[in-house]
Structure 1
Amino acid sequence: MLNTSTQAADTLHTTLKSARVMQSVRFHGPGDIRVDEVEEPVCGKGQVKMRPAYVGICGSDLHEYTAGPVLIPEHPHPITGSTYPASMGHEFGGIIEEVGSDVTHVSPGQRAVVRPTIYDGTCCACKQGKYHCCENIGFIGLSGFGGGMSQKIVAPAGHFYALPDNVTLEAAALIEPLAVAWHAVAVSPFQPGDSVLVVGGGPIGIGVVQVLALQGAKKIMVAELMDNRKKLCTKYGATDILDPREVDVAQRVHTLTDGVGADIIFDTAGVEGALAGAIPACRAQGAIVNIAVWEKAPVIPVNKLTYNEVRYIGSALYDEGSFLDTIRAISTDQLKPADMITARIALSEVVDKGFQALLDHRDQHCKILVDVQS
């Protein structure tokens, strides 16, 4: 049995440890994101404590900023119990600082990436092993367990994956969005030699272009408006860039494919007019894969899908296999995300030089990284 002085010392140590404060970027409401001082989390059994390094600002983060709460819970999340104000940032890696006594797959001092998807393990989708389709899906950085835009984070150990030595911490911040792209190609009927149209050349669209080029697409056509994104798509393997202001996208696709049409269309834009214009570009018995998260439900010309027996497929996030495949592809230099990074900013600059820059100067940016420790 511990003597009382030892017990008192342990209590004092725990109190001091939990009383530490840190900075965290938190959502308080639409247009209201603040760098707050919050209590530093304490690592317990089955948990890992990380010092985040670089964090990507995602399109879903922008949706929260402009129109949230969307995925951020207004009422206690069924898994985490969290509500807003919520710590943000779900595309990140960092340095492991501490692990629970029962954690063996990562260790202090190790570099790691976070897979942010939170699932309950009990719903019908989870029982089928489709954890990324969980009925109560949540995300670190949106739904609880803190977020990467914090000086420290503690979460269940299963969210942390050790990084190969040659994967930088900057690249780690691109693993999550590239896994979205990898999974979308994996769930599609894509075959090497296919001709593909990608609608939207943002970070996910550029990721899809990279994966398609790696896996042997014959033609990679991208419908995009912004010059900087056109250049990045070309750099990463796009064979043809189609500006909808200058050409009829469907007609141009048919011309480029000798009248056949695209075997597969990947929609990363989530814009009704762009989707309606792209559907006629698909060949008979082709497929359209939706990756976009739509802010409001679109009107879809279903008859055009029916008459040509075009399959419309949803791609939700990524499974663990796609996440691990993405890490391996970066490690083996098959995916090279460095050129997607268009700015690096400090935690204190996250609103003006991060969120607002992406909203006001989208034509200048692809992926902005927040350097949490700067």
Structure 2
Amino acid sequence: MRALRFHGVKDLRVEDVPPPDRPGPDDVVLKTAWCGICGTDLHEYLAGPIFIPTTTDPFTGAKAPQILGHEFSGRVLAVGSNVTSVRAGDRVAVQPLVAPPDDFYARRGQGQLSARLGMVGLNWPWGGFGEQAIVREPNVAKLPDEVSDEQGAMIEPAAVVVHAVDKGRVQAGSTVLITGAGPIGALAALAASAAGATRIIVSETNPLRRERIMELGVVDDAVDPEAPDAAARIAAQTEAGQGVDVAIECVGHAGALDTCIRNVRKRGTIVQVGLSVAPGMVDVSMLVTKDITLEGSWCYPLTLWPRTISLVAAGKMPVEKILSDRVGLDEAVGRGFEVLTRPGAGKLKILVSAAG
């Protein structure tokens, strides 16, 4: 079968690799449908290996060269003897996290926090940028007819922001600021709207992305944080000019976190979703004197898939609105990775088909 594998910095190759063997008792073999290019994939492409192991992972057995891709949907080809939740022919979305069952956090239902966490498409022998993949039964969730294969490939990043919105306690009537209008910021806007937020403001330096996020139909304003009137413009859209109830930081930059601190109201909540590549300075005094709650948000609970799928199926979270392009496996680098890593790019989510 053909697969896109990571060999090193800016070295992704479409190669012929052996297809999956017969599934083990708890395994599911998939024919992949669509797989999204994630920001994590882009970081590996530009600066990896970061999460990809260069020596054999003691838990998963994975080692570079690695088939990339963890945001994907597919159709079940075969199942192991112990598998009961899906059968051959079912369409599924993949939940890519694999935690050791004996881990401290896994035993508490928080396997996403395991230090030995495996992730399909990063440190698991299989990934979504291949024609087929093997995953464990807990890693698949059946898709209803109302959810397309393309939407199914976006359940993973959607779950990230549903978790973040939960942690921010967004509710009916909330005012929300989102920093960053990339794929996660755009999905966060959709999730906040689904949770009942009545005003959503996005802070983004890229003018193309500011235009793009307004097209979602749920964002009330897109502000350039470098504009001199940015803070006043945000405040003017909140009750008594006091600031937003919740800020969701989706950039991973100290400047974006500072924007959240300055624009959230006293006793408001900030949820940090974006991963920073370097330490940064923030105004801790303002964080304290405004009595702000700062929440970290890492991945998602491993049980969040049914709820996220139901939001998409009901039309409450139209994830397809962030889709910018669809490409085949041979075009994944030139029309996918290269486009998304280009400075000032306005594209959001690009899906790859291993069959094309």
> Where on the TM-score scale, by shorter chain, does this alignment land: which range?
over 0.9
* Distance of aligned partners of 1:249 and 1:81 in 2 relative to their CA distance in 1, 3 Å threshold: farther
**How many angstroms apart in 2 are the aligned matches of 1:248 and 1:84?**
48
Secondary structure of 1:327's counterpart equals: helix
**How many angstroms apart in 1 are the aligned matches of 2:100 and 2:187?**
28
Q: How does 1:260-275 map to 2 (within 5 A)?
A: 260-275=242-257
**How many angstroms apart in 1 are the aligned matches of 2:172 and 2:39?**
29
Q: How does 1:93-132 map to 2 (within 5 A)?
A: 93-132=73-112
RMSD between superposed Cα atoms in Å: 1.5
- Residue pair 2:212, 2:346 contacting (<8 A) in 1 also: no
Which amino acid in the other structure matches residue 326 of structure 2?
R
Structure 1 residue 135: Cα displacement: 2.0
The answer to whether 1:246 aligns with 2:221 is no
1:349 corresponds, among 326, 331, 337, to 331
**How many angstroms apart in 2 are the aligned matches of 1:228 and 1:350?**
22
Structure 1 residue 91: Cα displacement: 0.3
1:29 corresponds, among 8, 12, 34, to 8
Q: Is there any run of 5+ residues in structure 1 with no aligned partner, and where?
A: 1-21
The answer to whether 1:146 aligns with 2:126 is yes
Structure 1 residue 361: Cα displacement: 6.2
**How many angstroms apart in 2 are the aligned matches of 1:172 and 1:73?**
27
Q: How does 1:55-204 map to 2 (within 5 A)?
A: 55-204=35-184
Q: How does 1:217-256 map to 2 (within 5 A)?
A: 217-234=197-214, 235-256=216-237
Which amino acid in the other structure matches residue 41 of structure 2?
D
- Residue pair 1:146, 1:154 contacting (<8 A) in 2 also: yes
Secondary structure of 1:39's counterpart equals: coil
Which amino acid in the other structure matches residue 66 of structure 1?
L
2:288 corresponds, among 284, 306, 309, to 306
**How many angstroms apart in 2 are the aligned matches of 1:23 and 1:368?**
19
Which amino acid in the other structure matches residue 272 of structure 1?
A
2:318 corresponds, among 324, 336, 339, to 336
**Residues 116-173 of structure 1: CA distance to partner in whole angstroms, max 9, x if unpaired?**
0111122322222112222222210001130000011112222111110121111111
Report the count of equivalent residues: 353
- Residue pair 2:9, 2:48 contacting (<8 A) in 1 also: yes
**How many angstroms apart in 1 are the aligned matches of 2:338 and 2:4?**
15
* Distance of aligned partners of 1:361 and 1:297 in 2 relative to their CA distance in 1, 3 Å threshold: closer
- Residue pair 1:57, 1:370 contacting (<8 A) in 2 also: yes
- Residue pair 2:246, 2:270 contacting (<8 A) in 1 also: yes
Secondary structure of 1:363's counterpart equals: coil
Which amino acid in the other structure matches residue 19 of structure 2?
E
**How many angstroms apart in 1 are the aligned matches of 2:58 and 2:242?**
48
- Residue pair 1:288, 1:310 contacting (<8 A) in 2 also: yes
- TM normalised by structure 1 equals 0.90
Q: Is there any run of 5+ residues in structure 2 with no aligned partner, and where?
A: none
Which amino acid in the other structure matches residue 275 of structure 2?
V
**How many angstroms apart in 2 are the aligned matches of 1:251 and 1:76?**
53
Which amino acid in the other structure matches residue 221 of structure 2?
D
**How many angstroms apart in 1 are the aligned matches of 2:86 and 2:117?**
25
**How many angstroms apart in 2 are the aligned matches of 1:45 and 1:322?**
24
Match of 1:209 in 2: 189
- TM normalised by structure 2 equals 0.95
* Distance of aligned partners of 1:323 and 1:228 in 2 relative to their CA distance in 1, 3 Å threshold: farther
Query: Percent of aligned pairs with the same residue?
Result: 33
Structure 1 residue 371: Cα displacement: 1.3
Which amino acid in the other structure matches residue 333 of structure 1?
G
Q: Which sits farther off after the overlay, 251-260 or 196-205?
A: 251-260
More helix by share: 1
Structure 1 residue 44: Cα displacement: 2.5
Which amino acid in the other structure matches residue 309 of structure 2?
I
**Residues 260-317 of structure 1: CA distance to partner in whole angstroms, max 9, x if unpaired?**
1111110001122222233111111111100111112222221111111111100111
* Distance of aligned partners of 1:94 and 1:104 in 2 relative to their CA distance in 1, 3 Å threshold: same
Q: Which sits farther off after the overlay, 215-224 or 126-135?
A: 126-135
**How many angstroms apart in 2 are the aligned matches of 1:260 and 1:333?**
33
2:270 corresponds, among 248, 272, 288, to 288
- Residue pair 2:147, 2:313 contacting (<8 A) in 1 also: yes
Which amino acid in the other structure matches residue 9 of structure 2?
P
